Amino acid sequence: MAIREIVKVGDEVLRTKAKEVTEFNDSLGVLIDDMFDTMFKADGVGLAAPQIGILRRVCVVSVDGMTRYELVNPVILKAKGIQRGAEGCLSCPGRSGIVARPKKMTVQAQDRFGETKLYKVEGYAACAFSHEIDHLDGILFIDKIEQEEE
């Protein structure tokens, strides 16, 4: 496992739509493990592959530091309600602001082996899923800030 460099705002890779993963192999597993290591080292709760310069539809989330979600080719099936909260991003250091996100979400994704999973998340986890899935489409939280925080 390795710590990868996190790409910062201004790098075009963060504004590019990521490509679907079609090969489920050992290198995908290494990527996912490296993403978790990188995220935890940076004190984050989520990380998307474009944030480490890889344009693949892969993101990882762990809001409690124990439960690990690996989302390959995630699709939001349902989103319900609205919650507003302060957000930051490992790719946008020094920026934070209030962002509106779904209160509940149902997300379908594959794991590192290609097995399809269904996740029903709410609250902070729904916010993190939404934030990371946005990254896969070249959307940053700073695009959605309703109120910038000092």
Give the CATH number, domain containing residue 66: 3.90.45.10
| pLDDT for the residue 106 | 98
Residue bearing the bigger pLDDT, 109 or 147: 109
Question: Helix and strand tally (H, E) in the chain?
Answer: 2, 8
Residue 89, domain member (yes or no): yes
DSSP, res 136: H
Asked, for residue 102, whether it belongs to a domain, the answer is yes
Is 146 noted as a catalytic residue in this protein? no
Average pLDDT on 100-115 reads 98
Total domain count, the chain: 1
Inside any domain, residue 1: no
Give the whole-number percent of the chain exceeding pLDDT 90: 97
d(CA 34, CA 11): 21
Is pLDDT at 150 greater than 90 in this prediction? no
Selecting among 12, 87, 115, 132, the annotated active-site residue is 132
Question: Does residue 4 lie within any of the structural domains?
Answer: no
Place of tokens 């509940």: 104
Does a structural domain hold residue 132?
yes
Query: Which residues form the domain of 107?
Result: 12-148
Q: Sign (positive/negative) of CA torsion 4, 125, 138, 109? A: positive
Q: Which residues contact 36 (CB under 8 A, 6 or more apart)?
A: 47, 60, 62, 68
Please give the structure tokens belonging to residue 126. Answer: 């729904």
What band does 59 get if pLDDT is binned at 50, 70 and 90? very high
